[in-house]
């Protein structure tokens, strides 16, 4: 029997990894933020969800038991205001927007295992159980709240934090709120959090963002106002039903309500989450408030909060007023789903900020996807079509590939580094074609080169699948092999029945016949 060596994976569903060297398989629970439904999904939402999807798919490829959660955040003042503006009740309003999120995820090949809505009966029923636990720990008391509230961000600020009297985060108007409120004793968790960060160095990720959080926590934590009496659209505070829970406190609970906390099998199998993937602007809620709530409720905290960077568009912040908000459906229709997924993850490491431009997107599509990846498959299949002998030989190209390294990059959420490795291998395979000049070869010599190319493209097909699921499928279909797992990413005997199909990627040509966007 295998022993659970690391705390990293839960025992129970343990099996040998594809590399069978003591590395163990297990479960992998990854989440995205639940998105506000006051607006339709844009490239920022798509980025987080695609990145989480790639990681979830990678872990499935390894053989891990994966649970991938996304969903929508539907309560709070912001949504109530948007509903009123649309002349609908809040529930009618959220019901009318949620399909847009579900559709976009389907369109972008997102493989979430569950979609949580904070208006789900399950969520509304379980949140009070969590709050009860916190109350039983003596961490909730009644007080008077005075502060500045930014409705669009659903965030509270002190007078000192305001910049020119406006929200320091989004620079919009804030309003003065003064009312009776219940407070969560966040201040009690300062030492415990600092200790936790120290003993769990991977929790605050990426590392270069951890300092900011640690310093802020060291500066001191103020108790958090967690209820409102002025707002009706939310989950009632179980200890005093005149009050409604502050939307952030309720929303954070989605990560466990979706698993049927406390007794559900999913909770037992998948909690604690392996990764909460979030944008950097909501890092504080996930890295400080959420673990403090969990400590108080006696629930294990997640293993990692990874705060990724932000996209700008052609160098500018995306905003409705600038009219430069990128619609993911439009991008996928114009350039293909896989080219869009690829372009987002190829641009920069997950933690960094990046700038999106259609011009770069087209360059990547034309050069990296069509001219390198697509061409490699095309050349390989062209040779296969005109060769009738035995496909066999020594694996030469295998030296240019280190699957274990790619796997460990992915384990560390380095999707950028992993893509670099995969595309370096694609380049090496194309160079191999150029160097070997198979069009000049015959017989066994040609069979040998072809063997290397077929095995290389088969393995590339597997490795790109999490990033570009449709492309992985097409490669396997054209090579006439079943879709493999990570364990199949080694050179063996090629047993496929290759048949050339459609080109994997078409170069983008604009109306004037140029291969760029503008």
Residues that bind ligand MSP (CB under 6 A): 33-36, 44-45, 47-48, 73, 251-252, 254, 278-279, 281-282, 310-311, 318
Give 98 or 278: the residue with its C-beta nearer to ligand MSP.
Answer: 278
Beta-carbon contacts of 179 under 8 Å, excluding residues fewer than 6 positions away, are 144, 145, 228, 229, 230
Closer to ligand MSP by Cβ: residue 43 or 403 = 43
Taking the complex as a whole, how short is the minimal distance between the CB of residue 452 and ligand MSP, in angstroms? 40
Residue 361 to residue 421: CA distance in whole angstroms: 20
Task: Measure Cα distances from 246 to 35, 193, 204, 228, 251 in Å.
Answer: 16, 22, 24, 6, 9
Pairs from 20-28 (Cβ < 8 Å, separation ≥ 24): 25/62, 25/63, 25/64, 26/64, 26/65, 27/64, 27/65, 27/66, 27/67, 27/269, 27/270, 27/274, 28/55, 28/56, 28/59, 28/64, 28/65, 28/66, 28/67, 28/274
Measured from the CB of residue 155, what is the shortest distance to ligand MSP in angstroms? 10
Query: What is the closest distance, in whole angstroms, from the C-beta atom of residue 137 to ligand MSP in the complex?
Result: 21
| Cβ-proximal residues to 261 (8 Å cutoff; 6+ apart), any chain | 126, 129, 130, 267, 271, 299
CB 170 within 8 A of CB 154: no
Strands 244-245, 175-184: pairing is unpaired
Minimum distance from residue 281 beta carbon to ligand MSP (Å)? 6
Residue 101 vs 467, nearer CB to ligand MSP = 101
The dihedral region occupied by 318, where left means phi > 0, alpha psi between -120 and 50, and beta the remainder, is beta
CB of 377 to ligand MSP, least distance (A): 32
Distances (CA, A) of 454 to 48, 76, 140, 379, 488: 34, 55, 63, 10, 14
Nearer Cβ to ligand MSP, position 281 or 445?
281
Q: Is 122 exposed, middle or buried, given 0-12, 13-18 or 19+ CB atoms closer than 10 A?
A: middle
Q: Kindly compute the dihedral angle of the four CA atoms of residues 112, 320, 313, 150, in this order, to the nearest 10 degrees.
A: -80
Shortest Cβ distance from residue 411 to ligand MSP (Å)? 21
Give 282 or 449: the residue with its C-beta nearer to ligand MSP. Answer: 282
Collapsed DSSP state (helix, strand, coil) of residue 278:
strand
CB of 237 to ligand MSP, least distance (A): 18
Q: Write down the residue that tokens 């990724």 correspond to.
A: 308
Give the max Cα distance, the chain: 86
In angstroms, what is the minimal distance from the CB of 456 to ligand MSP? 34
Residue closer to ligand MSP, measured from CB, 16 or 129: 129
Work out how close the CB of 94 gets to ligand MSP at its nearest, in angstroms, rounded to a whole number. Answer: 12
Nearest residue to the partner ligand MSP, using Cβ: 44
Q: Which is nearer to ligand MSP, 318 or 426 (CB)?
A: 318
From 415, 313, 317, 308, select the one nearest 352 (Cα to Cα).
308
Query: In 15-169, which ranges are continuous DSSP H helix?
Result: 43-62, 77-85, 90-107, 121-136
Q: CB-wise, 184 or 491, nearer to ligand MSP? A: 184
* β-sheet bridge partners, residue 140: 184
CB of 47 to ligand MSP, least distance (A): 5
Nearer to ligand MSP, 47 or 494 (CB): 47
* Shortest Cβ 352–ligand MSP spacing (Å): 11
CB of 201 vs ligand MSP, minimal distance in Å: 23
Contacts (Cβ under 8 Å, ≥6 apart) of 136 = none
Q: How far apart are CA 102 and CA 34, in angstroms?
A: 12
Residue 225's contacts (CB-CB under 8 Å, 6 or more residues apart) are: 143, 145, 147, 156, 181, 182, 183, 246
Cβ-based nearer residue to ligand MSP, 306 or 491: 306
Total H helices, total E strands in the chain = 19, 14
The secondary structure element, H or E, covering residue 34 is strand 27-36
Closer Cβ to ligand MSP, 34 or 468, answer by number? 34
For residue 181, the cross-strand partners are 143
- CB nearer ligand MSP, residue 318 or residue 413: 318
Q: Which CB atom, from 55 or from 318, has the smaller least distance to ligand MSP?
A: 318
Question: What is the smallest separation between the CB atom of 12 and ligand MSP, expressed in angstroms?
Answer: 27
């Amino acid at each position: 029997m295998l022993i659970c060596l690391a705390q990293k994976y839960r025992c129970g569903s343990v099996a040998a990894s594809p590399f069978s060297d003591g590395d163990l398989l297990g479960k992998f629970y990854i989440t995205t933020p639940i998105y506000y439904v006051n607006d339709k999904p844009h490239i920022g939402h798509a980025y987080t969800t695609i990145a989480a999807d790639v990681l979830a798919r990678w872990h499935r490829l390894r053989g891990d038991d994966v649970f991938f959660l996304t969903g929508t955040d539907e309560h709070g003042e912001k949504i109530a205001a948007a509903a009123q503006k649309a002349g609908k009740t809040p529930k009618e309003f959220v019901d009318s927007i949620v399909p847009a999120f579900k559709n976009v995820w389907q369109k972008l090949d997102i493989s979430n295992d569950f979609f949580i809505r904070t208006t789900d009966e399950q969520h509304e029923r379980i949140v009070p159980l969590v709050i009860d636990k916190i109350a039983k720990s003596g961490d909730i008391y009644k007080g008077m709240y005075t502060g500045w509230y930014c409705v669009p961000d659903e965030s509270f600020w002190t007078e000192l934090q305001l910049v020119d009297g406006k929200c320091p985060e989004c620079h919009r108007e804030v309003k003065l709120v003064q009312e009776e409120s219940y407070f969560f004793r966040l201040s009690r968790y300062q030492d415990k959090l600092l200790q936790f960060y120290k003993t769990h160095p991977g929790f605050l990720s990426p590392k270069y963002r951890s300092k900011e959080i640690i310093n802020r926590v060291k500066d001191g934590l103020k108790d958090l106002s967690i209820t409102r009496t002025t707002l009706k659209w939310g989950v009632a505070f179980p200890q005093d039903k005149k009050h409604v829970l502050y939307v952030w406190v309720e929303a954070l609970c989605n990560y466990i309500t979706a698993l049927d906390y406390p007794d559900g099998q999913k909770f037992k199998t998948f909690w604690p989450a392996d990764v909460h993937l979030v944008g950097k602007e909501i890092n504080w809620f996930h890295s400080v408030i959420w673990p403090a709530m969990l400590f108080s409720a006696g629930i294990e905290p997640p293993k990692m909060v990874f705060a990724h960077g932000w996209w700008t568009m052609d160098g500018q912040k995306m905003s409705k007023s600038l009219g430069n908000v990128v619609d993911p459906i439009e991008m996928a229709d114009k350039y293909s789903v896989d080219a869009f997924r690829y372009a987002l993850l190829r641009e920069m490491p997950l933690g960094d900020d990046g700038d999106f431009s259609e011009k770069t997107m087209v360059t990547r599509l034309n050069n990296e996807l069509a001219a390198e990846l697509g061409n490699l498959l095309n050349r390989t299949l062209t040779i296969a079509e005109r060769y009738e002998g035995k496909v066999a030989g020594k694996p030469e190209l295998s030296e240019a590939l280190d699957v274990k390294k790619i796997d460990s990059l992915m384990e560390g959420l380095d999707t950028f580094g992993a893509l670099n490795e995969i595309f370096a291998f694609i380049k090496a395979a194309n160079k191999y074609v150029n160097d070997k000049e198979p069009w000049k070869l015959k017989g066994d010599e040609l069979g040998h080169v072809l063997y290397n190319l077929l095995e290389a493209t088969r393995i590339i097909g597997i490795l790109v699948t999490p990033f570009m699921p449709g492309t992985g499928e097409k490669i396997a279909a054209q090579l006439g092999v079943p879709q493999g797992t990570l364990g199949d990413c080694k050179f063996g005997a090629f047993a496929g029945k290759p048949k050339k199909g459609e080109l994997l990627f078409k170069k983008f040509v604009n109306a004037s016949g140029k291969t760029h966007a503008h």
